[in-house]
Structure 1
Amino acid sequence: MIARLAGLLAAAVIGLAAAPSVAQTCGRDDPPCETPLGTYRVALPDGDGPFPAVIFLHGAGGTGRGALGMTGTIKAFTDRGYAVLAPDGLPWRDDREGGIWSFRNDIMHGPGRDEAAFFAEIVADAAQTHAIDPDAVILAGFSAGAFMVSYLACDTPDAFSAYAPVSGGFWRPHPASCAGPVRLFQTHGWKDSTVPLEGRVLRNGQFVQGDIFEGLALFRAANGCEQPNPSGTRTTGDFQRRYWTCTKDSALEMALFPGGHGVPAGWADMMLDWYEALPVRALPIR
């Protein structure tokens, strides 16, 4: 699977290079950037690239435009020199605006999409047109976007330099195992009732959200952690954090905050502090 992701990005680069590169603004109020599989928007920091970047995946029914409307979070990223790439999910329901991600095809209303290939296209396109560094991209997301992040972190841990799901994890049945090692920063609200820490039954049992702590156990196993207990704890404002230091090239941390279902204030800076403290990780050859 890792080799497949490297191949997807290489193919995306070749395919996009075949057409003339046309700079697009693709901001919140502009027409979106387009790739063969979908559309995305971008917020850029000041200065010249190459920029590290965060791909931020919206929640169910959201849009890339809506994600860029999270002004506090987006500004926190761009103030620190990060570009933000905000893709659009696939149309979800006829009676709802916005999109959903293909993390579970049985949840989709209609055919899904190869999201790994789509995100590889975005990275390749943004490297050409927006001067992002394709080897310094964090995949982050909220709620349904966090579900997508978690599944890709499990399946393709080397596709991005780190993963940062907020208010989401897996669905039952959980994956049997995850590839690894992975660098992942999980954030969740203690009072979240939309995606509770223990999961939630939906549609009279047709779907069941997974348990965040069981998901962390899968990532610990992928990271070669010999013990379930954390290596240490720390506090950042209202965030209560616990981390596991395991095999080389791995990093795993969880931050709980006292609120409900949302992206909490201070998350972006805290996550970037964690990311920037990690050793530089060589990604597969593109």
Structure 2
Amino acid sequence: MFTVCHRLLRLTAVLLAGGLAASALTPVPHASAIPAKTAQLDHGGLPRTYVVHAPVGVERPSALVINLHAAGGTGGGQAALTRYDAVADANGFVVAYPDGIDLSWADGRGASVPDRQGVDDVGFISALTTKLVADYGIPGGRVFITGLSAGAFMANRMACERADLFAAVAPVAGTLGTNVACNPSRPVSVFATHGTVDPIVPYGGGGMTGRGGASTVVAAPAMADRWRQVDGCPPPVDETLFGAGHGQQIQRTTSAPCAAGTAVVFNRVDGGGHTWPGAPALMDAAGATTNVIDASVASWQFFDTHGR
């Protein structure tokens, strides 16, 4: 497992750094798009960088989405992989892609350099979010967060610890460390997606070894159950979404309405691997991807209807 993880995450770092993947995966710029810009925000004594993309000609953007990269990746690489800029242009919202220290996050598991060095990523992402809300005049209650793999772990942690900032979270291929508490100050809507044969972050939870070391993680269904519990949800309703080919079936469970009008949706990608649905798989070792949903479009559609 370590060899597969190491190979996958090493390739992810190369691809998502912006070279081949950026040219191969970046869509043709939309007519209303303005080029994304890299900026810096000093926090905790460290210069932190991020990429921000805003639709041109929109005086008051409709929302802000924070999109977090996987371990070994970068904000620019996450933008290229998820193609979230195009969704932002079509719907008039701002999207930002922060960069983690050592290409990773202090998500609480203790399995990364920033975690072991005590980097305050909760504080950094919170400060960045507050700055962008002020800079772009984002309406209150229209701030959301998503992420892939380690970025999903970090997104879940942000939703657990800063529910005052984020109305909804959409983690893809990541849950929480079993050592990380989740007691949000208010209900948070959730749109989670996880493949049943994910070779990196096990669907059934337990031990995993990633780029930064070993950790023990919550099972994907148990994470969804935890969110239903904290949000005071009714029993979930099941539906099946179909597509063609391996990994082309999704079992979706939806709990709504939960407290304060929130909802918890869990997408189980049958046969799915460690991928962002709708985007190309990075390599065979990551497992199968699915096109039943596009995680970027689907998460935005969920966010758009679950603000505060």
C-alpha distance in 1, partners of 2:157/2:217?
13
Q: Is the 8 A contact 1:170 1:209 kept in 2?
A: yes
Q: Which residue of 2 aligns with 1:126?
A: 132
Q: What's 2:167 paired with?
A: 161
Alpha-carbon distance between aligned partners in 1 of 2:51 and 2:202, rounded to the nearest angstrom: 30
The answer to whether the 8 A contact 2:110-2:215 is kept is no
Contact 2:161 2:183 in 1 (8 A): no
Paired position in structure 1 for 2:220? 212
Aligned to 1:76: 87
Counterpart of 2:56 in structure 1 is 46
Match of 1:78, SS state, is helix
Q: Is the 8 A contact 1:154 1:180 kept in 2?
A: no
Q: CA deviation at 1:202?
A: 3.5
Matched, 1:63 2:80: no
| 1:243-254 → structure 2 map (5 Å cutoff) | 243-245=254-256, 246-254=258-266
2:132 is aligned with 1:102: no
**How many positions carry a matched residue from both structures?**
245
Q: Residues 35 and 125 of structure 1 are in contact (CA less than 8 Å); yes or no, is this contact kept in structure 2? A: no
Cα 1:172–1:56, aligned 2, differ >3 Å: closer, same or farther? same
> For each residue in 1:174-200, what CA deviation from the matched residue of structure 2 results, as whole angstroms up to 9, or x when unmatched?
537555422111011233111121124
Change (3 A) 1:45 1:257: farther
% identical equivalent positions = 28
Q: 1:106 to 1:190 in 2, by over 3 A?
A: closer
Aligned-partner Cα distance in 1 for 2:182–2:300: 30
Match of 2:300 in 1: 272
Q: Which amino acid aligns with 1:103?
A: D
The TM-score with structure 2 as length reference comes to: 0.70
Distance in 2 between residues matched to 1:267 and 1:126, nearest whole Å:
23
- Once the two structures are TM-superposed, the CA of residue 58 in structure 1 deviates from its matched residue by 0.3
2:182, 2:301 → 1: CA distance?
A: 31
CA 248–202 in structure 1, closer or farther in 2 if over 3 Å, else same: closer
Deviation at 1:163, TM superposition (A): 0.8
* Structure 1 vs Structure 2 CA RMSD: 2.8
Tell me if structure 2 keeps the 8 A contact 1:182–1:249: no
Measure the CA separation in 1 of the matches of 2:236 and 2:153.
23
Q: CA deviation at 1:155?
A: 2.6
In structure 2, the CA distance between the partners of 1:142 and 1:208, relative to structure 1 (3 Å rule), is same
Kept after mapping to 2: 8 A contact 1:105/1:112: no
SS in 1 for 2:146: strand
Equivalent-residue separation in structure 1 for 2:157 and 2:190 (angstroms): 12
User: What pairs with 1:118-267 in structure 2 (closer than 5 Å)?
Assistant: 118-130=124-136, 132-133=138-139, 135-173=141-179, 175=181, 178-202=184-208, 207-225=215-233, 229-233=235-239, 235=241, 238-245=249-256, 246-258=258-270, 259-265=272-278, 266-267=294-295
SS at match of 1:248: helix
Cα distance in 2 between the residues matched to 1:192 and 1:206 = 16
Q: CA 1:71 to 1:248, structure 2 compared with 1: closer, same or farther past 3 Å?
A: closer
1:209 partner letter = V
**Structure 2, unaligned runs of 5 or more:** 1-33, 244-248, 279-293
How has the CA–CA distance of structure 1 residues 188 and 71 changed in structure 2, closer, same or farther, with 3 Å as cutoff? Answer: closer
Pick closer, same or farther for the CA change 1:253–1:176 going to 2, 3 Å.
closer
Relative to structure 1, is the Cα distance of residues 127 and 133 closer, same or farther in structure 2, using a 3 angstrom cutoff?
A: same
TM-score (norm 1): 0.75
Structure 1 Cα separation of the partners of residues 200 and 35 of structure 2: 30
* Residues 128, 230 of structure 1: alpha-carbon distance in 2 compared, 3 angstrom cutoff: closer
